[in-house]
Amino acid sequence: MIKTLSKISFIGLVLCSKIAGAQTVPFSDTAFEGLKITLCGTSSPLPAPGRAQACIAVETPDHLFVIDAGSGSAATAQLSGVPLNKMRGILVTHYHSDHISDIGDFNLNSWVAGRPAPLQIIGPDGVDRIVEGLNIAYELDRGYRVAHHGVELLRPELGVLQSRTIREGIIEDKDGLRITAFEVSHPPIEPAYGYRLDYGGRSVVIS
């Protein structure tokens, strides 16, 4: 079930919960301006009925970035109609398991949806190790899926994750979208990042 919390002049905010038994919502092609926010996961590391772990999807008319990818969040995103074909990257705040465990499913689902470029996993020091491990873990699966569906549907190179290590500051500034990373306090983790996304005079900050 998708619950609309409010209509704000500069942001659409959607809470997605209680997905058991739900049907996939088709990707929306409805035109909109600014930023669209979908909470795909809001629980802690401990299991919570009907709630996936940490994940927020931020969409512009041309892009989709996901902040963190906790367990269950990829299914929630797809069931709620988040347009994974527009997915460009996952912005990781830190490397607790409840923030990264669905990276593999986001990669697969957006690949099948027609994502046009390799999925970037963007985060602080250590992201290259996470991505290297995931690429090794899913190597056999990628091969099976390409063999089954064919290279016309699943281009093999688009199933391989790419890592991007970042520092504080502006990390993306193109097509009208600016993304800024900033350090946050999350001992004993150093660094942990929050992100600000600016588009069309609207902003969202995730910390």
Average pLDDT of the chain is: 87
Task: Identify the architecture of domain 2-206 in CATH.
Answer: 4-Layer Sandwich (3.60)
| Residue 29 pLDDT | 57
62-91 tens-digit pLDDT: 999 999 999 999 999 999 999 999 999 999
| Residue 86 pLDDT | 96
Amino acid identity of 1? Answer: M
User: Is the model's pLDDT at 203 over the cut of 50?
Assistant: yes
Domain range summary for the chain, segments of one domain joined by +: 2-206
What is the band of 5 on the pLDDT scale with cuts at 50, 70, 90? very low
* Mean of pLDDT values over 102-121: 97
Q: Is the dihedral of CA 102, 162, 67, 144 positive or negative?
A: negative
Least trusted range by pLDDT, from 12-21, 58-67, 161-170:
12-21
Which residue has better confidence, 136 or 152? 136
Residues taking part in catalysis: 98
* Mean of pLDDT values over 195-201: 96
Q: Which residues contact 156 (CB under 8 A, 6 or more apart)?
A: 142, 146
Count CB neighbours of 105 within 10 A: 17
| Residue 91 pLDDT | 99
Predicted TM-score (pTM) of the model is 0.84
41-70 tens-digit pLDDT: 998 888 888 899 999 999 999 999 999 999
| Residue 50 pLDDT | 87
Task: Starting at the earlier edge strand, list the strands of the sheet with 64-67.
Answer: 2-8, 11-16, 35-41, 55-59, 64-67, 87-91, 120-123, 162-165
Quote the CA–CA distance of 193 and 123 in Å, as a whole number.
Answer: 8
